[in-house]
Every structure is written in structure tokens, then in C-alpha cells.
Amino acid sequence: MGKIIFLDIDGTLCNDAGLVPDSAKEAIIHAYERGHRFYLCTGRSKAEISDEVLALPISGIIGAGGGYCEIDGEVIFHHVFDSAELKKMIRFLEGHQIEYYLESNQGLFASAKLRERLIQLSLGDSAEESEEGQKKIAAIKWFLDLLIEDSSLIDYEDVNKLSFINHSVPYEVIHEEYDGDFHMLRSTVPAFGPDSGEIGLKNINKKTAIETVLEKIQRSKEDCLAFGDGNNDLVMFEAVGVGIAMGNAKDELKAAADEITLTHDEGGIAHILAKLD
């Protein structure tokens, strides 16, 4: 019987440009043909997962950091915010001049100046009209194209996570406001800056979602591998038999891993999958 393999996306399946290296694509297809099965396990909401990733032989999706799950196209669960609490949270962020986007299966809904802030972050010291500046903007175009800026289209009853891009107050101010009532996490996207982060539902994470998947498909923890790179993958490693940290992973995750592989662009996923039967 093949293994069950959980894949984080950013920094793991996808490189820093948001693309899946050819080595990973080929290795996943070959492993699937040998009987192994793959599940995405990502902080991204479903609307944020690219067609390139979805074209892989994926048996299921854990999204929104554990807030959403589907297996073979069937939605197993979808946890969402209380709309009143969400609107209160938005008022807090806007009062502190913090940009954000609401993550929903219907799309990613951006605050008024989020697009402008993301372009500024990408450019850094580069002039927008320079060739280097244009390349940096092109690298995030896929994400900018996902953003919906018409707030009248938001369904506040269907939001499963909130991500904030913050350069106004220390991260700790936001953490203190919401930790305990919600699941707080520093952003795993370095370009967003150290004071940015995510707000998710309490007691919902990658571990809880994996446990639900394994119960549903009647497989054991010992049958599972997981690939990750960020500290939000620490709980994912707790839910599987073997946790594999990418070569570009955070030091804390490497310390918790059963094995450390190469980076995404060096063929880290392919290196491990080649060792399966």
C-alpha cells in the first residue's frame, strides 16, 4: 500500500517565485503512478491555489491552515468566522492602518490600499519603471490578479482566514488582541515583513485537519509523510509518521523534522520521493 503524503505549498511545493519546480512535478506524477497519494496541506485558501498546483495528481486539499478540507472533490468540512467577530476585527485593523485580505473559497478580498502596499514591498529600492522593478512586479502578478477590491462582493459568512500586511504596529500588539480567541501566526511569507501575520479560527490547524482526513480515509499516522518549510508546519509534523523539512526551512522546523532534504529548487521533494518503493 502506498504512502499518504501531505504537501505544504509556499516554500515547499512552490519556490519563491510561486512556481512548482519541474523536478517536483515529475516526481509527484511518478510516485502517484506507483500508488502513493498526495494531499495539499497549506495556509492558502482554495481560491489562492494555482491551476499549476491543482493540475498535479492531488487526492485532496487541506486549505486555510486547516479550516477547509476536501477529498476527491467532496467537501469534508469548511470552518468560517462569525461575521460579527470578523467585522469587529476589520475595524481594529483599519483603525491601526493595517492592510489585509479576507480569504474565502469565493476569492481573496483586499483592503483599500493592499495592492499599493504589496507593490511597494516588492519594489523595495527598485524604481517601478526599471527592468528590475518590472520583474519584481511580474513575480507577484499572479497574486495581485486574485485580489478582489470591491467590498460589496464580500460574503462575511464565508471567510475562513484573515491575513494582514502590517508595518504600522508591532506584531505583538495584534497578537495580544486576538491570541486565545483566535489562532495567531506570524506570516510565513518573508516579503510581507516580520510584523505581518494570519488570524485563523481557534483550535483549527493543519494537525486537526490531517487527523480528520486520516479518519475519513481509514489510514494511520504511520502511513504518512509531510513536507514543510515554515513554523506553521510544526503541528503538521505532529500528525504524521515522518516529517520532512525542506533545505530552505526555518531552523525550528528542521530541528523537529525526522529528515531534512534539499531546497525546493534543488529537487528536495524529488530526492525523498525517489527513495519510496
User: pLDDT by residue (tens digit) across 53-83?
Assistant: 999 999 999 999 999 999 999 999 999 999 9
In the numeric block, the cell 526599471 is attached to 130
Instruction: Provide CATH 3.30.1240.10 ranges for the chain.
Output: 83-201
Please, what CATH class does the domain formed by 83-201 belong to? alpha beta
What confidence score (pLDDT) does residue 95 get?
96
pLDDT at 190 over 80: no
Tell me the pLDDT tens digit for each residue of 116-136: 999 988 887 676 777 877 887
The arithmetic mean of pLDDT across residues 98-119, rounded, is 94
CATH code linked to domain 4-79+204-273? 3.40.50.1000
pLDDT reading at 263 higher than 90: yes
pLDDT of 43 over the 80 cut: yes
pLDDT of residue 1: 83
CA angle 108, 110, 112 (to 5 degrees): 165
> Rg of the Cα trace of the chain?
18
Angle between helices 83-95 and 171-178 (to 10 degrees): 150
What proportion of the chain, given as a percentage, has pLDDT over 70? 99
The stretch 185-193 carries a mean pLDDT of 84
Name the nearest CA neighbour of 228 among 199, 265, 263, 277: 263
CB neighbour burial string for 263-274, b if at least 16 within 10 angstroms, e if fewer: bbebbbbbbbbe
User: What value does the mean pLDDT take over residues 88-105?
Assistant: 96
pLDDT given at position 152: 94
Please list the residue range(s) of the chain that carry CATH number 3.40.50.1000: 4-79+204-273
The predicted structure's pLDDT at residue 276: 92
Please give the mean pLDDT across all residues of the chain: 94
Say if CB 140 and CB 118 are below 8 A apart. Answer: yes
Q: Going by DSSP bridges, is the β-strand pair 242-245/224-228 parallel, antiparallel, or unpaired?
A: parallel
pLDDT reported for residue 139: 78
| Average pLDDT value for residue range 213-241 | 97
Question: Residue 141 pLDDT > 90, yes or no?
Answer: no
Percent of the chain with pLDDT over 90: 83
